[in-house]
Every structure is written in C-alpha cells, then in structure tokens.
A and B are shown apart, each in its own frame.
Chain A
Amino acid sequence: MATVIVVTSGKGGVGKTTSTAALAAALAANGDRVCAIDFDVGLRNLDLVMGAERRVVFDLVNVVRGEAKIQQALVRDKRLDSLYLLPASQTRDKDALTEDGVASVISELRSNFDWVICDSPAGIERGASLAMRFADKAVVVSNPEVSSVRDCDRIIGLLDSKTEVAERGENMPKHLLITRYDRARAKTGDMLPVEDILDILSIPLIGIVPESKEVLRASNIGAPVTIASEDSAPAKAYQQAAKRLEGAEIPVTIPNEGTGLFNKIFRRRAA
C-alpha cells in the first residue's frame, strides 16, 4: 500500500513541481515504485520538468472521466524503471476533476505503488484541494520570504480541516521543506532565518534546499535534480528529505555546494 504525499504551498513559484520531481526520483532511486501526479489541470509542467513531455498521450482528466485506463496514462521514466508520471490535462480547466474520480484514481494507485506524490497547483481552488484531499502526509514548500510563509500558514489550516485524514479526526502529518535558501543572505540578515519560519509555522522541518544553479540546469534538460546532478547540494537536500519521509531520523542540515560537508545542524524541530 502506497503512502500518498501532497506537495503543496499555496503560493506559486516556490518550487512545488521541482520538489515533487526531485523527491519522487529520490524515493524511486532505491527501487520503490513511485507515481508522481500533476494536479495542475490546464497548466501542467511536471511532465516538462521530468522530461516526459513528448510521451504524454492520456492524462489525469481522461482517467477521471473513464476515457482511458490508468495504465494507459502513466508515463514511465526513461532513467528510473520504478518511477511513473500521471500527467495533468493541458486543455481542460481545473473543474474537470471530480472528487469521486480523483478518489478512485488514488485508491487504484495506492495498491500498485509504494509512494504516490501529488504535485498541487498554486492557489486554494479545486485542483489544490483535490491534490491534498486524500493525502496521508503533506510536504509544505516555502521560500524564506514573507508572502510564501503566510500562504503556507493558510495551507496548513486547510490540511488540518479539508482533508480526509482531518475529517476522520486524525492529525495530518505535515513537513516543512524550505527551498531557495541563500546562505550568504542568511548571514547578512537579509533573509528570514529558518528558526523564525519554524517558529511561525510550527511544523517539523524535513529539509532545507539551498538556492543553486543546478536546479535550473536540471529543469532545462528535463530531469529531476536528484538525477541530473545527484551530488549537488540541492540533490543532497532532497535525498535527505526523502530518507526522512521513509522514516529515517537524521538531523536536518544545509548541504554545501561542491563539498559534502555540512556546517550547521538544525536540532530544533518544532512540535
């Protein structure tokens, strides 16, 4: 049975799609069967970031509407045998998804995969709420920047009220992933420190992904950064985050560019 994870943030452009691709590839690297689903109906991009854009035939909307079977819509990664993509539709609008349809897609994927990673669209409309609706865990992506943190707070509220887990009266496990962290700006005090973000959002930290040119290079060539540049600092951050999703208890560090040394350990993990 798969663990279903939603990658969400509220705000656009913080790195949800990049993070979905990188985490999915990191989880699939050891042979786990992973399916990444793009919920951004009308503005899909996960296919492009994963380099599968030329092989998309059917999509999530086709499957939800019964026009295609899941197996027909799944696109297998060319580099990792156990990594699959379920693309969003590029032509319909976000209202093409129904709750029952998404429920049955997720439940079928649950029995065929070890991990299902739902890439949420920005905003709080239907696509975003359906992406989180059936999740077992959430990865909340934030940049060290005020508007991004504020939107994450809003999303955390929705995760705690509008998901199936929450409606059952259970606690939705939430993990904070900070992306585009700039060590130099943190040093000069021009960027929100990690401690302050944790203090405000009060959810445990799962990783800090440093700002890096490798992320853009990876999306240029259409490969998750954990495949395109597996020894780079952002790739290491995602690999560590994936290990934590698997349950490993390892302290969160900010991987350095180039060297493999870590300079600061964040022992403090908010409750």
Chain B
Amino acid sequence: MSLGPLGLVLSALVLGTLVWVLTDYGILDPDRPSLLAWISLIIIDHTGYRPLLVAVAHPHDRSGRGRLKFSGAPAAETISTKDLILPCFNRMLLRALTIWLLLLILAVLNGAVREAFIRHDSANRQGTSQAR
C-alpha cells in the first residue's frame, strides 16, 4: 500500500462521499455504473493496491495479467498502475489531490452549516416579530 493506512481511510472516505454527493445531485446514475467504475479506479489507484486495480480494470482477463494479480507474487509488481490510468500522476500529486478532496468536503460542509444557521436565525427573527 503506497499511501499507508491513512491513505486507505482517506481514499475510502473520499470515494464514499464523492459517490454519495454525485448520486444525490443526479450526476451519477446508479443504473449506469461506468462513471462510478472510473471513480473507483482512480481512488484505488491512489491506494496503489495494484492487484485490486487490475482486477477492477480487467475483470474478464483470466490469463496473463489476470492470474498474476491474485497470486501475490512479486510478478504482480511488474504491472504498473501508471500504465493503466493517469500516466502523469505521481504519488505526491495523488496525495495532494486526496487532501484537496477532503478540503472540498470541508468547504461544502462549512457552507451547509452556515446556510442552516442563517435559516435558523431568520426563522427565529420571524417568530419573534410575529409574537410581538
């Protein structure tokens, strides 16, 4: 695992939140999972868990790379995830992107909480003025 335990947890959080937000806004259609598959591939590529990445990217490949991926043998390391997707990405960039997604989630949460406070405040003011 190139990102370590923290990277795995962050990636899982990011993937889950991203899929949830995209589905909630209707951008991601659960009946057409191709976009979900791409998002999953990118997140799995973050983790650097190559056997899982190859398994997702080539589910029907029963020979060659397909066998290598489950064996756990060092030969699996000969398959570069960078050759499969996103060839220009390196580890630092992927980690920076992961943290940016976390910051984005924070910003969205911050906006939602602020909106809720404003609504609550205006509702209180209306209630006070009606009581008078």
A binds B: no
Residues of A near any B CB (own CB < 8 A): none
Residues of B near any A CB (own CB < 8 A): none
